[in-house]
Amino acid sequence: MSDDELRSFKYDGEVKPGEKRQFRYEVSETYLGDPVEIPVTIINGDKPGPRLFMTAAIHGDELNGVKVLQEVADRYAPTDIHGTLVLLHVVNVPGYQAQQRDLPIYDQDLNRSFPGKSSANTAGRIANQVYERFINQCDLGIDFHTSTRNRTTMYHARADIDDPDVDRLAQAFGTNVILSGEGEADSLRAVASRNGIPTVTVEMGKAHRFQPALIEKALDGVESVFATYDIVPEATRVDPLWRKVMGATEEKRWLRADTGGLVEMEWGPNPLVHGGETICTITDQFKTEEHRVEAPFTGLIVGVLENPVALPGHPVCHLVSISPETRDEIEREITNGEFDGYRSYGQQWMTENGHDDS
Ligand SMILES: [Zn+2]
């Protein structure tokens, strides 16, 4: 990073040091031939520093990050910033308009289309515009997601922590839980990180909602990144009292229904469950049969089904094991009222059907 000199940010246009520009950038066209335009904010600080991109709604119905970016864009001026903020408020515009995850055109997943090509399908062309014009000019990035609909996910980061630069960024954002791995090969996070632009995904709550508690946490995380990288040197760092990094080798398991029926969650109010505790029951319509899904080990529930019906094989809960030390720290926080229960505000959280939602 040439962080020590002032730089213009160039896409097709140019945002000079000390300038904040908000505009729409055309990445595709509708069937009517009208432009499909991404809302963009670029804040080029009047002091040198790294270029940080933030992206939201690459999956069109994942809205919490959209609110995070709106707030960041509103709060900061070039006089606050050392370096440059590049905010792509809604990347998947057609999906956002339809309030669905994928591009409505043949259900293409924009986050499996990076870096794309100018000769690719629709998703690949949009991804290519986004990547070449904006992402490729940045030094690091944060991509905001939620769970897919009917599920909810715990607030956590996804990052390839075997890469020290990515690890630094993930630690800086300050979530309790980091799910480690490279991610899907053609996701924005994986492609950017592979190309030397350390990028993390933040997963937060559910689709189709603004969840204020999670949005506040994410804004604290953004500030913490600003502090760590001296983008806003006086910003406050988040240093969580416990961290759980889940690698590929850790015990984590999707617990599945063995019968069809009605699902009633019994865990809570916090996501810590002990081995043998009942997580949910599944009953038939007449309540003549009841199956209990129990925790096979002590762990954290990082994702649950929200739609309260299940079929045999249906994932109902994603559980990760934790060490006795982490369990003790979480229990201490619960006792002291410091644990941010994800169910406060009446909201659960969870991830997707065993595959990486990001
Ligand atoms: Zn997503």
Contact 141, 341 (CB under 8 A): no
Contact 7, 84 (CB under 8 A): yes
CA atoms 149, 155, 161, 166: torsion sign: positive
Q: How far apart are the first and last CA of the chain?
A: 27
CA nearest neighbour of 130 among 67, 198, 208, 36: 36
Angle at 10 between CA 9 and CA 11, to 5 degrees: 125
pLDDT on residue 349: 38
Query: Global pTM?
Result: 0.85
Tokens describing residue 206: 């559910």
pLDDT on residue 352: 33
Phi, psi torsion values for 181, nearest 5 degrees: 160, 165
pLDDT on residue 130: 98
pLDDT on residue 301: 87
CATH number of 9-241: 3.40.630.10
Q: What is the CA(101)–ligand 1 centre distance, in A?
A: 7
Q: What is the CA(201)–ligand 1 centre distance, in A?
A: 9
Phi, psi torsion values for 288, nearest 5 degrees: -85, -25
For residue 234, count CB atoms less than 10 angstroms from its CB and return exposed for 0-12, middle for 13-18, buried for 19 or more. exposed
Q: What is the CA(60)–ligand 1 centre distance, in A?
A: 8
Q: What is the CA(138)–ligand 1 centre distance, in A?
A: 21
Task: Look at residue 2 and give its three-state secondary structure.
Answer: coil
CATH number 2.10.240.10 given to 250-337: no
pLDDT on residue 250: 66
Output the DSSP codes for 232-264. STTSPPP--S--EEE-TTS-EEEEE-SS-EEEE
pLDDT on residue 196: 98
DSSP class of 34:
P
Q: What is the CA(317)–ligand 1 centre distance, in A?
A: 18
Check if 9-241 and 250-337 are the same fold.
no
Task: Look at residue 201 and give its three-state secondary structure.
Answer: strand
Q: What is the CA(148)–ligand 1 centre distance, in A?
A: 7
Helices (H), 161-314: 164-173, 188-194, 212-228
Beta-sheet strand order (sheet of 309-310): 290-294, 278-283, 261-265, 309-310
Q: What is the CA(49)–ligand 1 centre distance, in A?
A: 29
Question: Which H helix or E strand runs over 97?
Answer: helix 93-98
The residue ranges of every structural domain in the chain are: 9-241, 250-337
Q: What is the CA(5)–ligand 1 centre distance, in A?
A: 35
Q: What is the CA(147)–ligand 1 centre distance, in A?
A: 6
Q: What is the CA(207)–ligand 1 centre distance, in A?
A: 9
Residue 77: how many other CB atoms lie within 10 Å: 12
What string of pLDDT tens digits covers the 358 residues of the chain?
456 789 999 999 999 999 999 999 999 999 999 999 999 999 999 999 999 999 999 999 999 999 999 999 999 999 999 999 999 999 999 999 999 999 998 889 999 999 999 999 999 999 999 999 999 999 999 999 998 777 777 888 999 999 999 999 999 999 988 988 888 999 999 999 999 999 999 998 888 989 888 999 999 999 999 999 999 999 999 988 888 888 766 677 889 999 999 999 998 878 889 999 999 999 999 999 999 999 999 998 888 888 899 999 998 988 888 888 888 888 887 887 767 645 433 333 333 333 344 4
